[in-house]
Amino acid sequence: MSTHDDRSTDSAAASATDSAANDNTRPLEAGIVTDLSDRMSYGGYLQLDTLLAAQLPVSVPEHHDELLFIVQHQTTELWLKLVIHELDDARRLLAADDLRGALKRIARIKHIQEVLTQQWSVLATLTPTEYAEFRGSLGSSSGFQSAQYRAVEFGLGNKNAKMLRVFDAEPANRELLERELKRPSLYDEFLRLLARRGYAVPADIVDRDVTVAHVLDERIVDLFETVYRDAETHWDVYESCEELVDLEDNFQFWRFRHLRTVGRTIGGKIGTGGSSGADFLARALNLTFFPEMYAVRTRLG
């Protein structure tokens, strides 16, 4: 049988619950840490004081939409940093004959690419009139000068040594690109893995000069035709080829979305970095990382 004190306690608890429900708040659970004076905090771990202080508009007076422009490009650079991290490890794993591990890294890159492509829809809310009101404050700064973007291109195989001079005034960035220029690309490492497995990858491809972009080689198309015509026998290689095609498709979607966003924002104007703008971006759509992956499709069916 409940005592009078028990009934009082139950009544008080019910009253507290009713009160929380009535004021539309969620009570803190007893175990939630609220004293963070000597503990690692969320903001401390993520260095948010530094991160959130890095958005510094330069327009005078400050234009409302410049913050959007800065955040768009800063978040892109953060994602590119992660892509480089994953691409580095994917190549390490391929060199160690761990194809499954490399595919896991590539799968993550593909998801990052989707986020990067979707981000363009946010920047596309910036109208030509709005952008024109602070574009002049950007000087000659341009996404063309993104060292991390170039590092990703180099890592995937679009090598271009002439790009290094853009970073002569930034030694750390030039060093990053020099390192990527001299390092085998993802495709180089994939073809080398196939050679070690006994696939007919010519020796001159395995030992090629990795500081230049790979170009279409019909002998590699022959190899992939063998793989695609008997996918069951070569399943992991077949699957890897399709993953690489996904990777390139995603990259081209990003390039195209970039082109369309620039076109709707500045039309045919010259880019802030001195390029021809949309026309320059359009020509990038003709570049390819894995040419044989697409050429083999002409032979199939």
Residue 71, marked binder:
yes
Residue 69, marked binder:
yes
pLDDT at residue 9 tops 90: no
Whether the CB-CB separation of 33 and 39 falls below 8 Å is answered with yes
Q: What is the pLDDT of residues 50-92, one digit of tens each?
A: 999 999 999 999 999 999 999 999 999 999 999 999 999 999 9
> How far is the CA of 252 from the CAs of 135, 259, 284, in angstroms?
26, 10, 9
Residue 135, marked binder:
yes
Residue 84, marked binder:
no
- What is the per-residue pLDDT for 16? 56
Collapsing DSSP to helix, strand or coil, 269 comes out as coil
Q: What is the pLDDT of residues 216-226, one digit of tens each?
A: 999 999 999 99
- Contact partners, residue 268, CB within 8 Å, separation at least 6: 277, 278, 279
Cα–Cα distance, 294 to 193 (Å, whole number): 20
Q: What is the pLDDT of residues 158-217, one digit of tens each?
A: 999 999 999 999 999 999 999 999 999 999 999 999 999 999 999 999 999 999 999 999
Cα–Cα distance, 7 to 55 (Å, whole number): 57
Average pLDDT rounded to a whole number, residues 4-21? 57
**From the centroid of its chain, how far is CA 286?**
20
Residue 154, marked binder:
no
- What is the per-residue pLDDT for 201? 98
- What is the per-residue pLDDT for 23? 85
- What is the per-residue pLDDT for 276? 87
Whether the CB-CB separation of 241 and 293 falls below 8 Å is answered with yes
Q: What is the pLDDT of residues 97-140, one digit of tens each?
A: 999 999 999 999 999 999 999 999 999 999 999 999 999 999 99
Residue 258, marked binder:
yes
Give the helix ranges, DSSP H, for 60-185.
Answer: 66-95, 99-123, 128-135, 147-156, 171-182
- What is the per-residue pLDDT for 6? 60
Q: What is the pLDDT of residues 13-59, one digit of tens each?
A: 555 555 555 789 999 899 999 889 999 999 999 999 999 999 999 99
Instruction: Report the b/e string of 164-174 with b at 16+ CB within 10 A.
Output: eebbeeeeebb
Whether the CB-CB separation of 113 and 245 falls below 8 Å is answered with no
**From the centroid of its chain, how far is CA 298?**
30
Rounded to 5 degrees, what angle do the CA atoms 7, 10, 16 make?
Answer: 140
pLDDT at residue 265 tops 70: yes
- What is the per-residue pLDDT for 22? 74
Whether the CB-CB separation of 137 and 60 falls below 8 Å is answered with yes
Architecture of domain 64-297: Up-down Bundle (1.20)
Closest CA to 183 of 293, 291, 77, 92: 92
Domain ranges of the chain: 64-297
Residue 272, marked binder:
yes
